[in-house]
Amino acid sequence: MEEIKKIVCQTEDKIAKWAEEISDYIFENPELSDEEYKCSAYLVKKLRSIGFKVIYPYMGFDTSFRAEYCSDSENNGKTVAFLAEYDALPGYGNTHDKTAHACGHNWIAGSTMAAVRVLKDISRYFNGKIVLFGTQSEEKTGSKVNFAELGVFDDIDAVLQMHLGRVNCVDTTAMAMTDYTFEFYGKAAHAAKEPENGINALDACHLVMAGINAMRQQFGADVKIHEIITNGGQSPSIIPEYASMWIFVRATDKNILEKAAERVVNIGRGASLMTGAEFKYKRARNTFYDIKQSKHLNSLMKANLAELGITELADGDKYHCESTDIGNVSYRCPVCYTTLGTSHISDAGLHEQGFVDVACSDGAKKLMHIAAKAMAMTALDVL
């Protein structure tokens, strides 16, 4: 095994330029969630050119795909899957109207593509199947949630993915999350002449925010809620007849999340009663789960990272983490979700303007090759 892993690293070195070109292309052609037509087609073309069988579009999602390579026709071995992401984020640049990769999904596409190509090139050393899922819209709807519900991962023995972050961490965490749109319908009136004839929908939004703030102690440390007002009226001289909010509810566990989410909706109902405004709400189609990490996969990954010189690993912190749709995957099959730290490159964190400069930097590319090697080595352990 030690000798084969050396071959893994040597093989990745040979295709390093190929992987960097993929990361560069995705970075230079940023597309928003559910609109990744150019990038998904590019990845599919690359995969077909190296001998992968590809289904595209996949499971009814225009910009998702499933690529497979079997080491032999009988395929009696294990199946290891990788998850590629390639959607970008809005709101960057000097004018805040540019789409950009401030989360490093170009890096995720490059590292997973490199890992599966390496495994395909050394497939004479194992018996099994390599799968790469193109999972669109991680930043928005989270297609992995849909895939998990559709049973896509039920025949997968292990799933591997890496992400850039502030620190190196194998025992990563993620908060379960859902979000709501709250709408309040009141009655317009002149705010100075006859305000008593109006029903203020914006007041209902303010009361929701006050209610959430009043409940934070009772929600406890396991729950985080953040909200914005998306429509607060048209003019100060008019009592707002319509107002709306966008609310994110997160929790360290999906069951805790559901209890908190019910409370938030009840706060909306209370605001409606207090103001007389009609209340309507809509919950997001997909709920992101917390991550259930595979201790066995994590131990394999830690050993392989150590062989590659990554020995300082931070512990996962369930109170200071983001949310991601890979959590839903972890409830269906074993998952190892790892971050590699970029603090030596920049102080910028994910989704910040400064991270756009990190995502395709020379330092990030060095980490991308470590990620590809570590994932391929860990997949080899499983296979």
List, for residues 198-224, the tens digit of each pLDDT value. 999 999 999 999 999 999 999 999 999
Distance, in Å, from the CA atom of 47 to the CA atom of 317, rounded to the nearest integer, reads 36
Matching CATH number, 2-174+290-382, of 3.30.300.30, 3.40.630.10, 3.40.50.80, 3.10.20.30: 3.40.630.10
Whether residue 188 is predicted with pLDDT greater than 70 in this model: the reply is yes
Q: According to the model, what pLDDT value does residue 377 have?
A: 98
Closest CA to 264 of 290, 242, 283, 277: 283
Tell me the sheet residues that pair with 68: 53, 131
- CA dihedral 25→33→288→184, nearest 10 degrees, is 150
- Average pLDDT for 339-364: 97
Closest CA to 105 of 358, 373, 375: 358
Residue 129: alpha-carbon gap to chain centroid: 25
Whether residue 352 is predicted with pLDDT greater than 90 in this model: the reply is yes
- The reply to whether 2-174+290-382 and 176-283 are identical in fold is no
Annotated domain spans of the chain? 2-174+290-382, 176-283
> DSSP secondary-structure letter at 196?
G
Q: Model pTM?
A: 0.94
The architecture of the domain spanning 176-283 is 2-Layer Sandwich (3.30)
Distance, in Å, from the CA atom of 298 to the CA atom of 330, rounded to the nearest integer, reads 13
Name the amino acid, one letter, at 108.
I
Whether residue 128 is predicted with pLDDT greater than 70 in this model: the reply is yes
The predicted-structure confidence for 93-107, as pLDDT tens digits, reads as follows 999 999 999 999 999
> DSSP secondary-structure letter at 309?
T
Whether residue 361 is predicted with pLDDT greater than 80 in this model: the reply is yes
pLDDT band at 72, cuts 50/70/90? confident
The predicted-structure confidence for 265-309, as pLDDT tens digits, reads as follows 999 999 999 999 999 999 999 999 999 999 999 999 999 999 999
